[in-house]
Amino acid sequence: MTRAHVSLVRGTRRVVDRWRSSMQVRIVTTALAVGVASIAMLGFYLSSTISNGLYEDRVDQVERESLALTQMVRTTFAASSAPEQSELIVLVNGMLRQLQASGSSAQDFFLLHEPDITTPVIDPVSREEYRDLITPELREANRASDVPVLQPVAIAGSVPGQVAPGVMVGSTAEVPTLGTYEVYYLYSLEEEQQTLSFLQQVLLAGAVVMLVLIGVITWLVTRQAVRPVTRAAIVAERLADGHLSERMPGARGRDEMATLARSFNEMATSLQDQIRQMEELSAMQRRFVSDVSHELRTPLTTIRMASEVIHESRDELDPAAKRSAELLQEQIDRFESLLADLLEISRFDAGAAALDAETRDLRDLVTLVVEQAMPLAERKEVPVSVELPDVPATADIDPRRVERVLRNLVVNAIEHAEERPVEITVAEDPWSVAVVVRDYGVGMTKQEVEHVFDRFWRADPARARTTGGTGLGLAIALEDARLHAGSLDAWGRPGQGASFRLTLPRRAGIALREPPVAVVPPSHGPHVTTGQTPVLHPPTGPSPTTIPDLAVAFDPDDAEVR
């Protein structure tokens, strides 16, 4: 591909992009296109009409003049008394002088004897270059007609090297004793052609001026209509960026654009007031949740101390009281977990959450979380397998937050696996590290996947839960992932299980690219929800490492589940 072709392609693309992105350009272009088509049709009609009019008028004039000349020639020949051939030439020369003196517009005169077709007898004053204009076909038609015969011809123009249109007119005349002679007159239409060319030039210049005027007028009119719309678009973008005090100028006046500006500004003011009210209400709600959570910690501590005393003495109580003490202890644990989650959510909402980042190997955190979850997996009879890369999957992370996310995902998978395997995959690339937790349990529908990260949302609220849960675990996990500038993706199919992927950048400020492992299993369609747009591909990595015999103390009541 040559440079000229590349430049042409790029220039065409820029023109097309400009045409698509500007309503004013489209309107002006359309107006010019319609104007060109209209002026072209009008110009063609006027040019054709003028040309036909000039030609018909000139032909009528030529016919009248040729009839008069033919009548004069016939009268002259009829008045002669049996002229000889030599006398005929003198007679013709006299007629030519008489024709020139009469002001005839005929450029030349030809006299041919009728029987001689191949070798015409042309008078001495005729120009030799016009001999070939009298064709055998013209002579045949002239002899067969009682009226003058016209034939368009091309002759030399007044400017050397140019050709002008002309008309050859033929008729017949009787010469006593010599028979019938053919008479031909040559007329030039150069003046009419020049007049037509001048008119066409005038029409072309007028068309160009009209197109320029159409373009300028259309541009000015559309500019008056488009500028307020452009200003409204700019103000709307500023409002969308959070600059709620932006307003559209030009609200004074009574025309449509001023009405649009006033309506737009009133809408912006209303939105600003509503957003301010919503922000104040949201701040009050967050403050209320935070204050209530803090205030509840003191009485909860007192209740826990009292419940622990009762729980330690539960063996001395009757069975009903003993069971009540155990339930009280479990619900206090659940209450504490809920308070902790509410405080964490309030910190996220207030923007007070901060990372305590350090460089850690994600494989170590995954191994630790799996070891802690093994007692629950053994009780649920769920096999857990872990696939770790051979190279370190290090990243700058907050170990406490990432461990909380992983614990939530792993415990959720075990809870919903229904005695089917749970697979945990760790992957890495130069830009990010990722963990995929996959179970083959009850799964989720498309609607459930879309709401899985909502606060206090459960796929099946009536389902029995052995580990409790507050409904905030996945919401907090998503906030932890976003705090790391990462993403948390979910996939699910009913009866085929669910899959969650945590993706974290290796270093702060690195934008996430294609994750090193897919959240959607191969041969399954996407039912994915994510904080960022996932890019999916089949998983790769070394063979999995199974951890079947890990047994570390683990309290399932401390687990966070969805």
Cβ 203 vs Cβ 41: under 8 Å: no
Cβ 393 vs Cβ 427: under 8 Å: yes
Considering just the CA atoms, what is the radius of gyration of the chain in Å?
A: 51
CA within 13 Å, CB half, 485 = 15
**Chain centre to alpha carbon of residue 149:** 66
Structure token pair of residue 530: 């994510």
CA distances from 329 to 72, 226, 244, 295, 334 (A): 140, 70, 51, 20, 9
Q: Kindly give the parts of the chain with pLDDT less than 50.
A: 116-125, 464-468, 525-526, 531-562
- Domain ranges in the chain? 81-191, 247-353, 355-558
Rounded to 10 deg, the angle between the 23-79 and 85-101 helix axes is 130
Report the CATH fold assignment for 81-191.
Answer: Beta-Lactamase (3.30.450)
- 370-391 in b/e form (b: 16+ CB < 10 A) is bebbbbbbbebebebbbbbbee
CATH superfamily name and code, 355-558? Histidine kinase-like ATPase, C-terminal domain (3.30.565.10)
DSSP secondary structure code for residue 461 in this structure? T
Strands 422-428 and 384-387, sheet pairing: parallel
Confidence at residue 500, expressed as pLDDT on a 0 to 100 scale: 92
Structure token pair of residue 273: 């007031």
Cβ 123 vs Cβ 109: under 8 Å: yes
What is the C-alpha to C-alpha distance for residues 112 and 247, in angstroms, rounded to an integer? 93
What is the C-alpha to C-alpha distance for residues 230 and 228, in angstroms, rounded to an integer? 5
Query: What is the C-alpha end-to-end distance of the chain, expressed in Å?
Result: 58
Tell me if residue 555 falls in helix, strand or coil.
coil
**CATH class assigned to 247-353:** mainly alpha
Dump pLDDT digits (tens) for 235-286: 888 888 878 788 877 677 777 778 878 888 888 888 888 888 888 877 777 7
Q: What is the 3-state secondary structure (H, E, C) of 435-461?
A: EEEEECCCCCCHHHHHCCCCCCCCCCC
Q: How many residues does the chain have?
A: 562
Confidence at residue 560, expressed as pLDDT on a 0 to 100 scale: 36
Confidence at residue 554, expressed as pLDDT on a 0 to 100 scale: 30
CA distances from 61 to 50, 154, 336, 505 (A): 16, 19, 116, 95
Q: Which residue's entry shows tokens 């701040």?
A: 283
Ordered alpha helix ranges (H), 241-255: none
What is the C-alpha to C-alpha distance for residues 209 and 220, in angstroms, rounded to an integer? 16
Confidence at residue 119, expressed as pLDDT on a 0 to 100 scale: 40
Cβ 352 vs Cβ 485: under 8 Å: no
Dump pLDDT digits (tens) for 445-475: 888 888 888 877 765 555 544 444 567 788 8
